[in-house]
């Protein structure tokens, strides 16, 4: 067996799982690394294949490893373990088109707002949601056709999605997810022990027939991004939203991920109206500031009661200072005018590059999804030319290789150079034999 796997040890399923987890945590096993087959590892450890299979099943339930047909078991791209080594960063001198972050120059300045708000002490037992934030968020949801009779505040979009899924699903339950989709959502679902049922995405979001297939396969919930889809930039239109509603049965939990909010650059088409169990999670991170760590959740009474109940046993509430700051920014006409300008700028930057690439159109968002012949080769080739982009592997459950390019800070004058570099990297010359 390769020296890479000599640190996997143990005579029981729990011991084997702990050794793999330790190796992932300290970096001896890296995200994407493959593990030996069940039989090979069983022979190495002198245990039964059943013991190894149980260990891998436990690791899968906790999101440490993933198994896919024809590719075996691999360490998850983002295992839920704090790494001993810092995460890889964009090399010095390279242009960051990989991180997915908003342009800091297009975010509002927080210092004036912090000076303007009051910050009285809040005590245990106070209402978790401040009225001023509830009012402005409720009005925004209502303007988008989201029934927002009840709201709660959570620490970001993924926190809200995790709490909603945990409120309704048990380990082993199936959830329909976008393919490709945001790795954070995929990883959260894996960590909860859920089975992922991929649903193909085109420029208008999930395909209704593919969603119907996932529901027939047993999906009890669906998580989708109606606009600003990451990585593809898809956005639902009225017809696609109607077609998706038509295939959803009443017992399916629908979770809408609005991680970009208004800067997605597309109107909101909800699937939530008239549903028994649903939640719309709207983050403030990309348009008011990632450091707020705040998202608003609208949903049915039962779902929000469960989310708030579980939250009360942990953090209790989102900081009142953060809530007041968010409400102040959200109601400030000058701030919201800046958000509108940011939305327009993001659209111009995305479209300037998209027009030059042979890729699927992106109706919204901060990213473009570009198919390539080989991901790793394309990423390395672009980095050699000074452009850091993201490999598509963490985003896709099936489908061919691709790269994700974040256009949030990419100016239109840079777009031709990036497009030319992508063209060279996406389809490198084939090797030929020497004459």
Q: Where are the domains of the chain?
A: 3-75, 95-104+336-426, 122-331
pLDDT at 21 over 90: no
pLDDT at 87: 53
Query: What is the rounded distance in angstroms from the CA atom of residue 312 to the CA atom of residue 121?
Result: 18
pLDDT tens profile 383-424: 999 999 999 999 999 989 999 999 999 999 999 999 999 999
pLDDT at 71 over 80: no
What stretches of 184-303 adopt beta strand conformation (E)?
195-202, 205-206, 219-224, 253-258, 278-283, 295-299
At 69, the pLDDT band (50, 70, 90 cuts) reads low
- Please state the pTM of the whole predicted model: 0.86
pLDDT at 435: 39
Q: What percent of the chain has pLDDT over 70?
A: 94
CATH architecture assignment, domain 3-75: Orthogonal Bundle (1.10)
pLDDT at 146 over 90: yes
195: three-class secondary structure by DSSP: strand
pLDDT at 1 over 80: no
Pick the CATH number of 95-104+336-426 from 3.40.50.40, 3.40.30.160, 2.60.40.2700, 3.90.1150.10: 3.90.1150.10
pLDDT at 23: 85
pLDDT at 145: 95
Which pair of tokens denotes residue 50?
């059943």
Report residue 409 CA to chain centroid gap. Answer: 20
pLDDT tens profile 200-233: 999 999 999 999 999 999 999 999 999 999 999 9
From residue 239, alpha-carbon distances to 145, 229, 242 in Å are: 15, 17, 5
pLDDT at 83: 61
CATH 3.30.70.2860 at 122-331, yes or no:
no
At 434, the pLDDT band (50, 70, 90 cuts) reads very low
pLDDT at 88: 55
**Mean pLDDT, rounded, for 184-204:** 94
Identify the burial level of 135 via C-beta atoms within 10 angstroms of its C-beta, where 0-12 means exposed, 13-18 middle and 19 or more buried: middle
pLDDT at 85 over 60: no
- Of 26-35, 86-95, 282-291, 340-349, the range with the lowest mean pLDDT is 86-95
Query: What is the rounded distance in angstroms from the CA atom of residue 273 to the CA atom of residue 38?
Result: 46
Which pair of tokens denotes residue 171?
């380990």
**Mean pLDDT, rounded, for 130-142:** 97
Average pLDDT for the chain? 91
- Of 251-265, 282-296, 312-326, 415-429, the range with the lowest mean pLDDT is 415-429
Most confident of 43-52, 90-99, 285-294: 285-294
Of 344, 144, 336, whose CA–CA distance to 264 is shortest? 344
pLDDT at 135 over 80: yes
**Mean pLDDT, rounded, for 108-129:** 93
pLDDT at 77 over 60: yes
Q: What percent of the chain has pLDDT over 90?
A: 73
**Mean pLDDT, rounded, for 6-31:** 84
pLDDT at 336 over 90: yes
Contact 189, 165 (CB under 8 A): yes
């Amino acid at each position: 067996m390769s020296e890479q796997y000599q640190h996997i040890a143990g005579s029981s399923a729990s011991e084997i799982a702990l050794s793999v987890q330790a190796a992932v945590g300290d970096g001896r096993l890296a995200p994407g690394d493959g593990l030996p087959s069940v039989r090979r590892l069983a022979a190495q450890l002198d245990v039964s294949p059943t013991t190894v299979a149980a260990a891998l099943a436990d690791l899968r339930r906790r999101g440490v490893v993933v198994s896919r047909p024809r590719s075996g078991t691999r360490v998850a791209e983002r295992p839920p373990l704090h790494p001993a080594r810092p995460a890889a960063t964009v090399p010095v001198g390279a242009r960051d088109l990989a991180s997915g972050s908003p342009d800091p120059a297009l975010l509002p300045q927080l210092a004036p707002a912090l000076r303007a708000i009051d910050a009285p002490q809040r005590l245990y037992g106070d209402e978790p949601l401040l009225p001023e934030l509830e009012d402005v968020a409720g009005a925004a949801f209502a303007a988008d056709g989201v029934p927002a009779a009840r709201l709660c505040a959570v620490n970001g979009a993924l926190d809200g999605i995790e709490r909603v899924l945990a409120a309704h699903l048990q380990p082993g339950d199936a959830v329909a997810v976008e393919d490709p989709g945001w790795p954070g959502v995929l990883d959260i679902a894996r960590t909860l022990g859920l089975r992922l049922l991929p649903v193909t995405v085109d420029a208008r979001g999930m395909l209704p027939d593919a969603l119907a297939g996932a529901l027939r396969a047993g999906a009890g919930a669906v998580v989708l991004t109606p606009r600003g889809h990451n990585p593809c930039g898809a956005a639902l239109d009225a017809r696609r939203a109607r077609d998706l509603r038509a295939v959803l049965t009443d017992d399916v939990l629908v979770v809408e991920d609005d991680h970009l909010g208004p800067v997605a650059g597309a109107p909101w088409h909800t699937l939530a109206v008239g549903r028994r169990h649903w939640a719309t999670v709207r983050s403030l991170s990309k348009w008011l500031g990632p450091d707020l760590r705040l998202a608003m959740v609208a949903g049915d009474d039962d779902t929000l009661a469960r989310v708030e109940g579980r939250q009360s046993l942990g953090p209790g509430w989102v900081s009142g200072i953060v809530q007041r700051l968010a409400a102040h920014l959200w109601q400030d006409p000058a701030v919201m005018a800046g958000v509108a300008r940011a939305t327009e700028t993001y659209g111009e930057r995305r479209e300037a590059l998209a027009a030059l690439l042979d890729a699927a159109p992106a109706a919204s968002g901060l990213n473009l999804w570009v198919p390539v012949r080989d991901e790793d080769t394309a990423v390395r080739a672009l980095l050699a030319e000074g452009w850091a982009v993201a490999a598509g592997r963490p985003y896709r459950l099936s489908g061919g290789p691709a790269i994700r390019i974040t256009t949030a800070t990419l100016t239109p004058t840079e777009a031709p150079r990036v497009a030319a570099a992508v063209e060279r990297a996406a389809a490198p010359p084939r090797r030929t034999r020497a004459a």
